[in-house]
Amino acid sequence: MPDDKPLTGNMRSDGVALDLKAYERAGGYEGLRKALGGMTPAAVIEEVKDSNLRGRGGAGFPTGLKWSFIPDKAPHPRYVVANGDEMEPGTFKDRILVELDPHQLVEGMILAGYATGADIGYAFLRGEYTVGAERVARAIAEAYEAGYLGKDILHSGYSFEIYLHLSAGRYMCGEETGLLNALEGKRANPRAKPPFPPASGLFGKPTTINNVETLCNVPHIIRNGAGWYRGLSRSKDGGTKIYGASGKVKRPGLWELPMGTTIREIIEEHAGGMRDGLQLRGLLPGGASTDFLTGEHLDAPMDFAGVQSVGSRLGTGTMIILDDKTCPVGMVSNLEHFFSQESCGWCTPCWSGLGWAERILRAMEEGRGKPGDLEKLAFQARFWAPGHTFCALAPGAAEPLQSALKHFRADFERHIDEKRCPWK
């Protein structure tokens, strides 16, 4: 295993997934053997806490702390759920993990199960990830055959089952309580909290939910130690991160880099800079539901505190790049259309407000913008703030809108004044 790229360093260049033998040759399941061979569940949790691993799904909550929320005397069965719904526009990092090295996810889920005393795991994948689903299913089958799953794993006395579940295909299925409802065969609406999933989650039982990338880090942490993992990072957040860039850069893609790598390095060195004849105008640093940053922010480190310090969020760490020949109003209109159609309709600020904002933006793009539209959009963005809705869908939709009004207001005003989109 390459020391500086534990998540992607063993992936084959021809796109073929690692099978069990190849994964074992690269050190696979050594972390599981170490944990079951001499570590208590509490020790596994402490190791993950000490590693400073934070959730890679967007919220960035400390993983070990999250695992510790399962009460010691909680009833059984207990569940571990891997959230691989990944429908955030601009985000595609979990896809390579499930397609090219799926045993990392399987081992990470078993370790999470052991640490939290869980009996059953569900790998919840985006329905369109058919290749990834086939490869995860194969990895699960290989793990069962090798004795890494099922009853009395490695003669340790610990038993754990994993099932694969494909999403019904809505963005709301990625919200953790909406995901739980979807797993139970219900509509993917968010649940009121409390109770929180560690106390009452899937089928009313204690449940731990982690993002796919988060879980894939765990085998490496247990195998090599928390100190090693912290040493991979350039910041206080531990480990590496799979960063991405899409848009009009020369080499769009994904790269595993130290946590805290700067925005400038990711865009200029790894993504190859902007295409010839284009200039960077802005970027969404962590997928569609993050605030725009501009060229003045390029030296900010891509870690949780670094991106927050310049007015946005790390989110999923996958950037969407805006160039100077693309209409920012059209870009935001497209994003708000997505959020509007993906709203579950559970709360009024989301289902009504998103539709209202989408109609205003579409009218502006078509030359039908009116004076006062920007004030209406700003009002809507404030109305979607955290605490006004059941889940984070609408607050996330507010971030690109409110920041576009801040950084690109003149472009919005031109649409209204000229009664057209200047880029068409």
DSSP code for 70? S
Asked if residue 424 belongs to a domain, the reply is no
Asked if residue 72 belongs to a domain, the reply is yes
Gap between the Cα atoms of 321 and 282, Å rounded: 6
* Bridge partners, residue 171, by sequence: none
155 with 111, same domain?
yes
Gap between the Cα atoms of 158 and 366, Å rounded: 61
Specify the CATH number for the domain of residue 43. Answer: 3.40.50.11540
The closest alpha carbon to 310, from 300, 319, 295, belongs to 300
25 with 145, same domain?
yes
Specify the CATH number for the domain of residue 399. Answer: 1.20.1440.230
As for how many domains the chain has, the answer is: 3
250 with 124, same domain?
no
Q: Where are the beta strands (DSSP E) in 212-296?
A: 240-246, 253-258, 280-284
Q: How far is CA 105 from CA 8, 21, 167, in A?
A: 12, 16, 17
44 with 71, same domain?
yes
Which range of residues forms the domain containing residue 333?
Answer: 328-418
Asked if residue 9 belongs to a domain, the reply is no
Which of 297, 323, 349 is a domain's end point? 323
Instruction: Give me the pLDDT at residue 2, please.
Output: 59
Instruction: Give me the pLDDT at residue 387, please.
Output: 85
Asked if residue 5 belongs to a domain, the reply is no
Asked if residue 423 belongs to a domain, the reply is no
Asked if residue 376 belongs to a domain, the reply is yes
246 with 224, same domain?
no
287 with 273, same domain?
yes
Asked if residue 346 belongs to a domain, the reply is yes
221 with 281, same domain?
no
218 with 246, same domain?
no
Gap between the Cα atoms of 47 and 100, Å rounded: 26
Which of 199, 231, 263 is a domain's end point? 231
Instruction: Give me the pLDDT at residue 87, please.
Output: 92
86 with 101, same domain?
yes
Instruction: Give me the pLDDT at residue 109, please.
Output: 98
Which of 212, 231, 250 is a domain's end point? 231
216 with 252, same domain?
no
386 with 298, same domain?
no
Specify the CATH number for the domain of residue 315. Answer: 3.10.20.600
List the pLDDT tens digit at each of the 424 positions of the chain: 557 899 999 999 999 999 999 999 999 999 999 999 999 999 999 999 999 999 998 888 999 999 999 988 889 999 999 999 999 999 999 999 999 999 999 999 999 999 999 999 999 999 999 999 999 999 999 999 999 999 999 999 999 999 999 998 889 999 999 999 999 999 999 998 889 999 999 999 999 999 999 999 999 999 999 999 999 999 999 999 999 999 999 999 999 999 999 999 999 999 999 999 999 999 999 999 999 999 999 999 999 999 999 999 999 999 999 999 999 999 999 999 999 999 988 888 898 999 999 999 999 999 999 999 999 999 999 889 888 888 999 999 999 999 999 999 999 999 999 999 998 8
85 with 112, same domain?
yes
The closest alpha carbon to 255, from 241, 265, 268, belongs to 241
Instruction: Give me the pLDDT at residue 385, please.
Output: 86
Asked if residue 37 belongs to a domain, the reply is yes
Task: Please tell me whether residue 354 adopts helix, strand or coil conformation.
Answer: helix
